Amino acid sequence: MKIQGKTSVPGDKSISHRALLISALAQGTSQIVGLNYGDDVVRTLEILQDLGVQISYQEGSVFVEGKNLSFNSPHKVLDCGNSGTTMRLMAGVLGGQSFESTLDGDFSLRQRPMGRIIDPLSLMGCKVHGAMGGTTAPLTIFGGDLQGIHYELPVPSAQVKSALLLAGLQARDTTTIIERIPSRDHTERMLQSCGAPIVRKGNQIEIVGGRTLQSQIHVIPGDFSSAAFLIGATVGLSGSELIIEKVGLNPTRLGFLTVLQAMGAHLEIIDSEEWGGEPVGDLLVRGSTLTGVTVEGELIPLLLDEIPILAVLATQALGRTMIRDAGELRLKESDRLASLTSELTKLGAQIVEQPEGLEISGPTKLGGAKVHSHGDHRLALALEVAALFAEGKVEIQDRECGAISFPGFSQTLHKIIVG
């Protein structure tokens, strides 16, 4: 079995969320081409409609009528489903609105930490009431009359940073965010392309509130985090060669490529260009012999979403792979450190769970087994790739949740498998 051909992946999920939110905050009509239609992004879209934003569809594009920083008061609880990005970024948006609103989600989202956005929003003058001592959803937000603040992020988080930038856009004076360890910068790039007064000075990001955003045409590149699963499948199958077309190549998302190259993977970026401030290109991937590496420190925030597929590839690499400083994975849709250890062990992997990481030895011949996604879309997709490396049938329970980030993954994968 090997992978051959060309393919593409759905629009970038992170950029899709931001394109919807920033278009809604802008003045005029914005067009979004290539929006990701996974459940998480649809939650953001539907909440904006609940806030009075007019959204229409025509010839493959989404058109958003901007509200120029002023939304309608909702008449119901705003349901974020399983999407932490929706909840955190929307909290920043609603923090600047002069009405009461409530954000809620499913059981998994109610377990995820929200104190990291509640605390800085409170410093800006927003009142936020949460469950479990004010640290989890549902969140009731009493917004309006925000004051810019000077705030250092306690953990590297693009979601928290973005929430504060969207709140700062609506605040009096300047909001300054200190980011000691870089995280995804999609929000900064898009705000700048829409005319926001936003400036980066070293590890500081400043945004001046009260300025009007201009409508744009947003063309969404392919989602690199989705492409990672196709990259992993290709690298792990000898004799494979795949071109993934028009995928996002933002430097703050490419930690996975850095690690794979250190492991010996054959990867090449071809035909690169820029769409609305975002680097985009075609990625050539070949089947490769991998060697274990240590992944830690400032590299971790640049590949946090790709660690599930990295763990699968590590089972096929020669020697030991150490993943450290990744305790944030315990706070995702599942405890990904525990879930990866549990499910890959069922397949025969030599994997040891650490307090903030994983130790994986290889290469290992994986076997057939019944495994479970734990309702975690990235774990479901990683297990589908692991099944390609296994000798025997792998049955994945609740594999459908993979559609949250990559609708049609199984169909895409099987179109490029030969032999």
Q: Which of 152, 348, 185 is nearest to 252 (CA)?
A: 185
Is 305 one of the catalytic residues?
yes
Could you give the CA distance from residue 238 to residue 257 in angstroms, rounded to a whole number?
Answer: 18
Q: Where are the alpha helices (DSSP H) in 184-334?
A: 186-193, 224-236, 255-263, 307-314
Our CA dihedral for 365, 9, 414, 59, rounded to 10 degrees, sits at 170
| Residues with Cβ within 8 Å of residue 12, at least 6 apart in sequence | 36, 186, 220, 221, 222, 223, 224, 225, 248
Tokens matching residue 229:
């699963």
Tokens matching residue 97:
């609105």
Q: Where are the alpha helices (DSSP H) in 149-245?
A: 158-168, 186-193, 224-236
Residues 8/227, Cβ–Cβ less than 8 Å: no
The partner residues of 320 in beta bridges, in order of sequence, read 361
By the 10 Å C-beta count (0-12 exposed, 13-18 middle, 19+ buried), 63 is classed as middle
- Residue tagged active-site, from 271, 305, 325, 335: 305
Tokens matching residue 73:
């008061």
Q: Which residues are catalytic?
A: 305
